[in-house]
Structure 1
Amino acid sequence: MKKLTLLVAAAALALGAGPALAKKQLVIVVKGLDNPFFEAINQGCQKWNSENADSEYECFYTGPASTSDEAGEAQIVQDMLGKADTVAMAISPSNAKLIAQTLKVAAPTIPIMTIDADLAAEDSALRKTYLGTDNYLMGKKIGEYIKKAKPDGGTVCSIQGNPGADNILRRAQGMRDALSGQEGLGALAGEGGWTEVAGCPVFTNDDGAKGVQAMTDILAANPDLDAFGIMGGWPLFGAPQPYRDLMRPLAERIASNDFVVGAADTIGDEVAIAGEGLVTALVGQRPFEMGYKAPSVMIDLIEGKTVEDPVFTGLDECTKDTVDTCIQK
């Protein structure tokens, strides 16, 4: 019997029925695994895998443990590029310049795209396309909500993430352009009636608790502050209860547009917070859609198909009055 079993196994191997070959990896590298926004990208990636179980390709999601580990992300990019089964890569650069330098040194021969965050314009030739949010438009919409609430202007502070993240910088520029009515200005000093207070923007490395603490400190130093522009939803989804505790005393001012909070994203507790009237408006992204679309875009690039650049995934806008219908399903 044992001899027969060995003969059957040998025949099966001869017919090509040996162990399954490893799948080709479509790698997504995000800024950090500790951020719920990126977990939504992962869920989209895994949804693609479940729907394409018979494919020769597999979506592989990875990144450093923390969004503050810019060097760790660059190292992961380098390591994954060195693996034979990596056939395409989508990167969300935490530090656009560092990732660009990593790609220049590695000189990859596989298709590279960016997702969620892009490289700086001067480095765009290093990737084939960008998939994700129109970050300038997102920031501009946040600025428009702030300006609509206080058309005569006032003082504002922007809460930002990593200082080298291109997507956050584009959002901040969009907000400034909307508030000032001009394009390309740096920190506002009265343009359009708006002035950015001392100590702002505040960079929090995508840390929700740091974001709430920064807002607390700015309010203490500027009790007459008129508005916050939060370029990523970290204080709301990363530290929802501390955020609520900070904003509840300002609820009446928010309701009357005496104080304005425009914030990015619509994940975690954010929509509930909008329903509670503790933020003026949210402008949300679609991270699940990014993760779900990325493998197909990478396959198109591998196959030499024409892919648009950029590929935008749209925005959702939520206020207290629209929380029941503001998210695209």
Structure 2
Amino acid sequence: MKMRCLAFTAIPILMALAGESAAEGKKTLAIVVKGLDNPFFEQINLGCKKWLSENPDSEYECLYTGPASSADEAGEVQIVDDLLSRGVAAIAISPSNAPAMANRIREIAPTVPVMTVDADFLEKDHDLRKTYLGTDNYLMGVKMAEEAKKLKADGGSVCLQLGNVAAANINARAQGFRDTIAGAKDVDRLTGQNGWTEIEGCPVYTNDQADLANQQMSDVFTAHPDLDAFILIGGWAQFAPQAYTQVTDQVMDKLKSKELIIVAGDTLPPQTQAFRDGRSHAQVGQRPFEMGYKAPDVMIQLIKGEKVEDPLFTGLDVCNTEDPGFCKDN
């Protein structure tokens, strides 16, 4: 029996797959991510493959797909549109642009179960999906703020690096960070609360591009030599380890003395290596493999009409200089 967890981007290939799957009698569980260029999402793919290896006789197959580039919001919406129009048993979406994706789902009104994974819709659109599987992103921001406060008890100047302007998961992390640092709710910007101030020109938005993320870091370090903290709300810059090494080389003396601190999201192998090399002071990691591994089972439960909790959180791993934990050996 053939087992597959496939990654495709082209619409014609999706059409061919739909026909092939029908011929084989397999029902498709689709996982659509923001972009295949992001190594974070490859962990979701690996989780899907693991599920397949453990369920060889399942009547379902897992289709892992997304646009080639994480910056292609329209492409992701088109892929979802195409999958739903051609027939899938269920679909799990990590929306790059949460409002745009939700608007399209509302227009299509699919009859198959829709869930979100890794990134959720905005709260006002939660009725469009059955559940969310992934990180408690607000809590992730809280944890990042707690690490920053340990390192800089008196606060300081800070720059937040975000992803896509409309990415609900990233914005939730930023909110958790700001609220925790400020000791108040719904803080739009840090303007001196508990000694913390966001510098002019920040936050910066990477559009999920590693090269842009590293260029932004370099520019900020050059323009603000007295910066106290740089917070990578997502791990984009560290996904390009050679470029990240070159950027942090500019400020290694400050990093060693903790005059400048870096707190970053995610704990993929290049990132834990950066942590061990002293190029960050704390990492707060998600569990994308677990997301990909659990998503097929959740979709099957939804197909069967079983009650599923909402949300389904996959937990966090925190590494810091006092307790390297997960980052020590990974």
TM-score (structure 2 length as normaliser): 0.90
In structure 1, distance between residues paired with 2:325 and 2:316: 16
1:22 alignment partner, one of 12, 22, 25: 25
Q: How does 1:100-179 map to 2 (within 5 A)?
A: 100-179=102-181
- Give the drift of 1:46: 1.3
Whole-Å separation in 2 of the counterparts to 1:325 and 1:173: 25
Q: Residue in 2 aligned with 1:220?
A: 222
| Contact 1:208–1:236 (CA under 8 A) maintained in structure 2 | yes
Q: Which runs of 5+ in 2 are unaligned?
A: 1-21
Output one character per residue of 1:4-24: Cα deviation in whole Å (capped at 9) or x when no partner.
Answer: xxxxxxxxxxxxxxx963310
- Structure 1 partner of 2:6: none
Residue 326 (structure 1) shift: 4.2
- Cα distance in 2 between the residues matched to 1:180 and 1:255: 26
- Distance change >3 Å, CA 110–CA 227, structure 1 → 2: same
Aligned residues: 309
The structural deviation recorded for 1:316 is 0.8
Determine helix, strand or coil for the equivalent of 2:127: helix
Post-superposition shift, 1:245? 1.8
SS at match of 2:133: strand
In the other structure, the counterpart of 2:36 is: 33
**RMSD value over aligned CA atoms?**
1.7
C-alpha distance in 2, partners of 1:64/1:158?
A: 26
Aligned to 1:301: 302
- Contact between 2:272 and 2:328, CA under 8 Å: does it hold in 1? no
1:22-75 Cα shifts (integer Å, max 9, x gaps): 310010000001110111101111111121121111111110000000000000
Q: 1:57-72 alignment to 2 at 5 Å?
A: 57-72=60-75
Distance 2:249 2:320 in 1: 16
C-alpha spacing 1:226/1:314, structure 2 compared with 1 (3 Å): same
Distance 2:192 2:325 in 1: 37
Do the aligned partners of 1:147 and 1:178 also contact (CA within 8 Å) in 2? no
Larger Rg: 1
Q: CA 1:158/1:202 → structure 2, altered by over 3 Å: closer, same or farther?
A: same
Q: Which moved more, 1:252-261 or 1:318-327?
A: 318-327
The separation in 2 between residues aligned to 1:247 and 1:34, in whole angstroms, is 23
Structure 1 equivalent of residue 79 of structure 2: 76
Relative to structure 1, the CA distance from residue 287 to residue 325 in structure 2 (aligned partners, 3 Å threshold; closer, same or farther) is closer
Asked whether the equivalents of residues 36 and 268 of structure 1 are also in contact (C-alpha less than 8 Å), the reply is: no
Provide the secondary structure at the position in 1 that maps to 2:89. Answer: strand
Structure 1 120/147 Cα, relative in aligned 2: closer, same or farther at 3 Å?
same
The corresponding residue for 1:240 is 241
1:219 deviation in Å? 1.5
State the Cα deviation string for residues 121-175 of structure 1 (Å, max 9, x = none): 1111100100001111111111111111111111100111111100000011111
Unaligned runs of 5+ in 1: 1-18
Residue of structure 2 in register with 1:10 after alignment: none
8 Å Cα contact 1:275-1:319 kept in structure 2: no
Following the alignment from structure 1 to structure 2, what is the Cα–Cα distance between the partners of residues 52 and 313? 21
Q: 2:243 and 2:327 mapped to 1: Cα distance?
A: 25
Contact 2:160-2:230 at 8 Å conserved across structures: yes
Find the aligned partners of 2:48 and 2:328 in 1 and give their Cα distance.
20
Match of 1:5 in 2: none
Which of the residues 194, 197, 211 maps onto 1:195?
197
Deviations 1:263-305 (A, max 9, x none): 0001131001100111010000110100000000000011111
CA offsets, 1:213-272, max 9 Å, x none? 1011112111111101101101012x2122112213433432333211110001131001
- Alignment partner, residue 3 of structure 2: none
User: What percent of counterpart residues are identical?
Assistant: 55
In structure 2, what is the Cα distance between the partners aligned to 1:232 and 1:159? Answer: 8
Q: Which amino acid counterpart does residue 92 of structure 1 have in structure 2?
A: S
Q: Counterparts of 1:218 and 1:156 in 2: how far apart (Å)?
A: 10
